[in-house]
Every structure is written in C-alpha cells, then in structure tokens.
Amino acid sequence: METILRTDITVRDICEGFVYNELEGKGLFGLNGKLTIQPEYQRNYIYADGKKDVAVIDSVLKGYPLGIIYFIQVDDRYEVLDGQQRITSLGRFVTHKLAIKDKNGMQQYIDGLNAEDRDKVLNTPLLIYICKGTEGEIKEWFQTINIVGVALNNQEKLNAIYSGPFVTELKKEFSNSTNANIQKWSAYVSGSANRQDYLERALQWVSQGNVEAYMSKHRQDNDITPVKTYFNAVIDWVSGVFKDVLPEMRGLEWGRLYEEHHHKPYNVTSVSQRVQELYADPYVTNHKGVFEYILGGEKQASLLNIRVFDKATINRVYAQQTEQAKALGISNCPDCALKDDANHTKIWKLNEMDADHVTAWSKGGATDENNCQMLCRHHNRSKGNK
C-alpha cells in the first residue's frame, strides 16, 4: 500500500467546485470535481449544529491545526475517508452557507471578513494523507490508524471496505431515515438508520453472522432482494407470533430465534397470555428473556433470571436445617442424608451449600422461606430444573 502526505492543498483548492446537498445535509464534491466528499459509506453531516461547524472556521482563523485528513485514491480520483465533516464545514463557509460570529457577536459570512482574514482562511493548507491500496490493505489500515473525531463504527467501516453497488442499494433501503418501514422495524431492532444499525442487523441475519464474507461475495450485485426478503421474513415472523409490542423486544437476537423456531406453530392467543403472565410474575426479573423462553416451550427458566432467596432467608434456613441434622446425626443436606455413603452424616458449611426451591418456580413454587431448602452444591446442581 502507498501513502502520500500532501501539504500543498489549501482550503481554496478543496472548496473549488464544492457541491452541498441541502436536502440531505451532505457535502458531495470538491477539488474541482476530483474529490468525493461524502462517499456512500460516510454518515450524514453531523457538524451542522452551529457549534462544531463554526469551531472549524474559528480554528482556521486562529491558525490552530485542523488535524489530519485521510483520502483514498481510486484511479485518478479521491474519496474522503476521514475529514468529511471538516471539509463540509469549510465548503459551506466558503460558499456562503455558514456564518460565524465576529468579535462583536455579529453574524459574518466569508464576504463580511476583512481581506486579510478571508485570505487566511482560503490559503490555509490542509494536512492530507492519500492512501492507495487493495481491499485488504485498506481494511488493515482502518484497524491501525487512529481516526480523529467520532470514530466510524463497525458497520460504517465494513461499508467503506466493501463499497460498491451492493452497499449503495442496501443503504437506500436500510440507512434511509425517511423509509416508512423504519417505524415498524424500530420495535424489534435497536439503533438508528443513520449509524447503519438496521443495515448491520439485516446483513447479520441473512448471512447468519458471516457479514464480511457475505458483503465481499455480493459486492458488485445491484440486487438486494435476498437481504430484504430475509429481513422482512424475520420481522413478519416476530410480529406474527407476538401480538404484544413491548420495549424489551428491541434489539433481541431475532435472526437467531427465527432460525431456531420459525418452523414451529404457535397459538398467538396463548403466547400473548403467557407474555402478560410472565411480565406480571414478581419472580421473573429478566423480561428480555420472556420471548425466547416461550418460543423454546418454557423449558429454560434460566432465561428469566428467577428471583433468588435473600441472605437472611438463607441464613435462617441453614441454621434450622443444620441444628435438626445434628440432633438426628445425619447430614444437613437432605439428599446426602438419604444416601448410604460417607456423606450420609456430613455437616456442610454454609458456603458449601446452595438455596433451592423445594417446588420449582416453573411449577408454581414461590421464592419464600417455606419453599426454601439448603442442598449441598452437588445435589443442588443435579436437581437441575430451577
């Protein structure tokens, strides 16, 4: 891979032919058409808050460094890898779309500056690293350079590495915050369209977790139908099985749950009733686990994080059980006491025992003193169904 450090490109050069899309809030092109400022993998311009964008101009006026900007060279053209926010702020200022406040607190566009300040802005050279390399090299570079500003998240990096028609089409569907489906999707998928969270989930689901291989294989495809179809199948399945839309459903592993359970029939009315009952059950402390618990036929109670016995209860039950055992000359673990081996008379220490539901929670047993017994570790574990 080749990297070149350029220090001869000025603000004036970069802003030559600057195009800004007001509607999408994106700086598109610069450097006389040779530079793509916002390639498809860049997130939307987030500096336009009247603070960060103004700070960029102030820095230039005061002669402060703007930090390193990274370009990727593709043939004889460039794409901004990092620095899009800063370049867009400069471009908007130079093309009269952004004003700063002067010493007297007055709004000033670039033409309102004195000639000296105006020249200072336009003649400021930028520090630009230009990188030319293969997919693999750029990927490695991404992982080693310390990108300035808001770091790209994982999916944003993958979109950069595998940029092409497939990513462009995917972004139109999954990264478009005006897509009317976002509202429905957001009940089950967490994050935002802008930061590529829906796109990330759609790719994870369709690829069964092998996102990189999938993106590489389909990089030049124009057709994203398989991704859309799979994503919609998962969403339709969840919203079909669970009539209730609850906040804890957001961000669950619906792709995996779909793979594991979509071939089974469910009675939607009883599913809904069980969801309500488990939500209302004071012993269920993990509501996020309710859905997988029901889908799996209510076998894996560990998903629900059933409330455990408190310390005071455990101490009282241990003291009582141990006192009785000593009087009878048997083990304080009732299961050991039944056996004919060396542990038949063993008195376990408190920290060698676990509290157990005599009647399991799943069979209606409560988490209170009357339903608590202490078992040795071994017997508690072998009892299983908690």
Query: Which residues of this chain interact with Zn ion, rule CB under 5 A?
Result: 333, 335-336, 376, 379
- What b/e sequence results for 41-57 when a residue is b if at least 16 CB atoms lie within 10 Å of its CB, and e otherwise? bbbbbebbeeeebbbbb
CB 129 within 8 A of CB 78: no
Q: How far is the CB of 295 from Zn ion (least distance, A)?
A: 34
Query: Is the Cβ of residue 77 or residue 339 nearer to Zn ion in the bound state?
Result: 339
| Separation between Cα atoms, residue 347 and residue 329, nearest integer Å | 9
Query: Is the Cβ of residue 249 or residue 317 nearer to Zn ion in the bound state?
Result: 317
CB 293 within 8 A of CB 278: yes
Query: Is the Cβ of residue 317 or residue 336 nearer to Zn ion in the bound state?
Result: 336
CB 34 within 8 A of CB 76: yes
**Dihedral sign from CA coordinates of 56, 57, 61, 66:** positive
Query: Is the Cβ of residue 117 or residue 335 nearer to Zn ion in the bound state?
Result: 335
Spell out where the chain has E strands.
Answer: 2-6, 19-21, 26-30, 35-36, 68-74, 77-82, 100-101, 107-108, 127-132, 353-357, 372-376
Query: Is the Cβ of residue 219 or residue 386 nearer to Zn ion in the bound state?
Result: 386
Q: How far is the CB of 379 from Zn ion (least distance, A)?
A: 4
The 8-class DSSP code of residue 310 comes to P
Query: Is the Cβ of residue 121 or residue 333 nearer to Zn ion in the bound state?
Result: 333
Query: Is the Cβ of residue 87 or residue 375 nearer to Zn ion in the bound state?
Result: 375
The residue to which tokens 């700070």 are assigned: 55
| Separation between Cα atoms, residue 19 and residue 16, nearest integer Å | 9
What is the DSSP track for 269-288? HHHHHHHHHHHH-TTB--GG
Q: How far is the CB of 347 from Zn ion (least distance, A)?
A: 11
Q: How far is the CB of 357 from Zn ion (least distance, A)?
A: 16
Q: How far is the CB of 341 from Zn ion (least distance, A)?
A: 10
Q: How far is the CB of 162 from Zn ion (least distance, A)?
A: 57
Q: How far is the CB of 364 from Zn ion (least distance, A)?
A: 25
CB 54 within 8 A of CB 108: no
The separation between CA 12 and the C-alpha centre of its own chain, rounded to angstroms, equals 38
